[in-house]
Structure 1
Amino acid sequence: MKAFVWAERISSTPLAAWTLAALAFLTALGVRFASDHVLPAGFPYLTFFPAVILTAFFAGLWPGVACAVLSGLAAWYWFIPPVGVFTMNPSVAVALLFYIGVVSVDLLLIHVTHRAVRSLRVERAQTRSLLSRQKSLLDDQQARVRQQAVLQRELSHRMKNTLAMVQAVVSQSLRNALDTRDASEKASARIQALASAQDVLTATDWAASDVAAVVAASVAPHCADGERVTLQGPPARVEAQQALGLALAIHELSTNAVKYGALSTDEGRVSVRWDVGPQDRFAFVWEERGGPPVAAPERRGFGSKLTERIVPSYFGGSAASDYEPGGLIYTLNGSLTPSGRRDETA
């Protein structure tokens, strides 16, 4: 195949192709003159056949035709009696027809061979391209299958976590409620808070969500006047489980603020602040001002357990509720990284 590669290179360069044709003809003519005294009569084309074949193979069809024409004329003029003139007689005609037939067959075979090789090269390239595309499609299909399996496992895991959280909310709401109606209202409101957080997570394909979006979605159902609740903090991302827990905590704080705290009066205000420190340390503060005087509740139910024990566990930290006379201050400190969280569940 190297010979065909060289032939492709030479034939694609006109200067090289026609130079080779001229050199092949002159070499064949010189060798024929040099060996004329040792060759018997009847071999006028002996050195010209190889020149035509080599030229046609390496330089292409038309340089090969040119070399064949020049070789035929040179042999007719110098090596077919009577030499030195172009005469035509039966013996000369037979010799010329023999030469034309042989070189025509050689040129045709070489041309057909080159076309077959080029076609084979094209077919091989197409085959490699098809194999490459097939491999790419197979890789994509395998990647999609793996991705689908991962998504199914992730969906199952998230569904289990969500259902476990809903089960805990309902169970604790029933356990700490005063009556059936109270239990129904609390469970329904808490599940609605989870649904709002789910909407935020769905918008980000259940990837990490922005704290501001989670807080805003959790506060919105409880306060139509957005000026009464201020949000302040740097961009921070919380994981899905952390977002759900934070939404539940804000729901509990907002509900209590509407019933007993700052949002129960027209003058009350709520400030929500958060900060992210080194190593993803997370600090969250809910501060109420301007509401009625606040006192610590005599009975601590599931809401207190949720905000002070369960939600902090998702951040691997702690939380506290300070019932100051001027208003409730809730603080949560923990970590946004998974390694910083304790293995606790609701």
Structure 2
Amino acid sequence: MNRSDVSGQRAALEAEVSARMGLVPNFFRPDQVAFEPVSGMWDFAKKAYLDNPLPALFKERLFVHLSRFCRARYCIVRHVGFLVGEGNVAGTPDVPAQSVDEVIKLLQYPVLPEEDGLSAIVARVEARPGAGAPLAGSGLERDVFALAALLFVEPLMAERARKALDTFLGSMLLERLLAFLAFVRTAHYWTLTHPSIRPEADMATFLDRHEALADLVLSDEAVAATETGQHLLEELRQLRAERDERAELRRALAERDEALERQELLIDELNHRVKNTLSVVQSMTELTLKQAHVSKDMRDGLTGRLGAIARAHDLLTQEYWGAVALDRVVRETLEPFRSCAVTIETAGPAVPLRAKTAVALAMALHELATNAAKYGALSVAGGRVEVVWSMDEYCVDHAKQFRFTWTEAGGPAVALPSRRGFGSMLIERSLSAELRGTAELRFEAAGLVCSIEAPLPQDTEAGAEVWGVAPADHGAARGGGDAGREGTD
């Protein structure tokens, strides 16, 4: 027989087994052992087990009971699976599956009758001549299984059991029962001599979910003494450990999600209150300054600064006060100053900033833009402001150096001011302290230049403490005005 013929026969056998049993047990997989013996075993199974006229549920439950005698655990595991719906009960699809509790009670039956109790069992069985198969879970079933087990284990010494079963079942059904017992014994021998036949994954998963059932099936002394039993027990221990770890992880994730939800609610409430407070402060400030007959320039300067704080607050609120991108701070702070008559260009890498640093930088940018709109490059048509920043390699210990430059051009002639105003002090003192670096204003002939430099410590965590900078790719990224001439009327 050529290889293609054997392959076709194997496929046909597996298809027939699957159609009858609801799956292909490893017991009947031709790739486990030679094809012809498996094929012969299937023929024997059909005649003595599947097509045996004894009731399907009676056969399956008795198969499980008798498999408690087999040191290899394959048969008891697989046939417990058939009982609970993992496959068909005795190859009969329309037989309802049993519950785990019903199977546990079956596995708690006495394996063999006690010698002093045998007479009582025989008497009860013989009192029901011709009754046929007993009801599942009944006391009569327990008695019949005890006698069948005695006949299964010691056929030459179980004459009383044989006669009682003959009376109960009738001679024809007794012969069917004996054929069934012969197949069960053959199945046990087959699995004992073929240790490669292992329980299927569906039953390992099922037993992992039902520990009480698994303990009854796998944890008795006879099982623990076998290599297969030990392997199954170890697999179950691993599955249970993984299940417990997954359950613990799910609990931790649920707790984290609840905490995050509470945190978000609190942050939303805080943001709402702070925003309302800023609005009230702005209104009160403007009204107070008007009543005090303060000049419009002073009123606009103060309310503008409050507005810059409010806009920075809005930006941080959207990020739940986490790291916010530097290019976004620049873009949104300068947006009110854009027009078709002037040009604002921005460029630099992605640099996340912590909340406090973002507010300080937004305030500094507002001061620079306000000054440019009044006296500098943004006050005349054709004026231009360029904002660039970088993270450069520094020569001392190869640390990173943050550089930020504001450059004006095309504006009115620049002269050194006679005194330093609030904006200059905010930039040169407050921003320098916040960044732990230097900030310098240079009043050059072509226009105002503001240069900011600050070291970024080599240690990533230290850098994050100063800047709010997560380990990020500092590859180049264009800012809000990268087209060069974005403007609004």
> Which stretch has the larger CA shift, 206-215 or 269-278?
206-215
1:1-346 equivalences under 5 Å are: 6=71, 8-11=73-76, 68=151, 97-98=163-164, 100=166, 123-124=210-211, 135-136=248-249, 138-144=251-257, 147=260, 179=294, 181-225=296-340, 228-278=343-393, 279-335=399-455, 337=463
Structure 1, residues 260-285: CA drift from partner, whole Å, max 9, x if none? 00111112111111111233421111
- Does the C-alpha gap of structure 1 residues 67 and 313 become closer, same or farther in structure 2, counting only changes over 3 Å? same
- Does the C-alpha gap of structure 1 residues 70 and 264 become closer, same or farther in structure 2, counting only changes over 3 Å? closer
SS at match of 1:305: helix
Query: What residue identity is the alignment partner of 2:164?
Result: F
Q: CA deviation at 1:322?
A: 0.7
Structure 1, residues 20-79: CA drift from partner, whole Å, max 9, x if none? xxxxxxxxxxxxxxxxxxxxxxxxxxxxxxxxxxxxxxxxx99x969959987x889xxx
Whether the aligned pair in 1 keeps the contact of 2:68 and 2:76 (CA below 8 Å) is no
- Tell me the distance in 1 between the aligned counterparts of 2:360 and 2:150: 90
TM-score by length of 2: 0.42
Whether the aligned pair in 2 keeps the contact of 1:285 and 1:331 (CA below 8 Å) is yes
Q: CA deviation at 1:244?
A: 1.1
> Unaligned stretches of 5+ in structure 1?
15-60, 81-93, 108-118, 342-346
Partner of 2:52: none
- Does the C-alpha gap of structure 1 residues 297 and 3 become closer, same or farther in structure 2, counting only changes over 3 Å? farther
- Does the C-alpha gap of structure 1 residues 123 and 294 become closer, same or farther in structure 2, counting only changes over 3 Å? same
- Tell me the distance in 1 between the aligned counterparts of 2:453 and 2:69: 76
- Does the C-alpha gap of structure 1 residues 67 and 7 become closer, same or farther in structure 2, counting only changes over 3 Å? farther
Structure 1, residues 271-318: CA drift from partner, whole Å, max 9, x if none? 111111233421111111111111122232211111111112221111
Structure 1, residues 107-145: CA drift from partner, whole Å, max 9, x if none? 9xxxxxxxxxxx998643799799778755543454346
Q: CA deviation at 1:156?
A: 11
Structure 1, residues 233-255: CA drift from partner, whole Å, max 9, x if none? 22222222111111111111111
- Tell me the distance in 2 between the aligned counterparts of 1:293 and 1:236: 34
- Tell me the distance in 1 between the aligned counterparts of 2:464 and 2:333: 23
- Does the C-alpha gap of structure 1 residues 139 and 121 become closer, same or farther in structure 2, counting only changes over 3 Å? closer
- Does the C-alpha gap of structure 1 residues 95 and 196 become closer, same or farther in structure 2, counting only changes over 3 Å? closer
Query: What residue identity is the alignment partner of 1:212?
Result: D
Higher relative contact order (CA 8 A, sep 6+): 2
- Tell me the distance in 1 between the aligned counterparts of 2:340 and 2:70: 81
Q: CA deviation at 1:100?
A: 4.0
Q: CA deviation at 1:160?
A: 12
Whether the aligned pair in 2 keeps the contact of 1:264 and 1:291 (CA below 8 Å) is yes
Identity %: 28
Partner of 2:192: none
Query: What residue identity is the alignment partner of 2:444?
Result: E
Query: What residue identity is the alignment partner of 1:312?
Result: S
Whether the aligned pair in 1 keeps the contact of 2:408 and 2:447 (CA below 8 Å) is yes
Number of aligned residue pairs? 264
TM-score by length of 1: 0.57
- Tell me the distance in 2 between the aligned counterparts of 1:179 and 1:13: 92
- Tell me the distance in 2 between the aligned counterparts of 1:186 and 1:223: 18
Query: What residue identity is the alignment partner of 1:98?
Result: A
- Tell me the distance in 2 between the aligned counterparts of 1:70 and 1:217: 87
Aligned-residue Cα RMSD (Å) equals: 5.4
- Does the C-alpha gap of structure 1 residues 101 and 252 become closer, same or farther in structure 2, counting only changes over 3 Å? farther
- Tell me the distance in 2 between the aligned counterparts of 1:273 and 1:249: 15
- Tell me the distance in 1 between the aligned counterparts of 2:213 and 2:376: 76
Whether the aligned pair in 2 keeps the contact of 1:334 and 1:340 (CA below 8 Å) is no
Partner of 1:35: none
> Which stretch has the larger CA shift, 284-293 or 139-148?
139-148
Structure having the higher helix fraction is 1
Query: What residue identity is the alignment partner of 1:319?
Result: A
Structure 1, residues 154-196: CA drift from partner, whole Å, max 9, x if none? 8999999999x99xx99xx999x99265443222211222232
SS at match of 1:313: helix
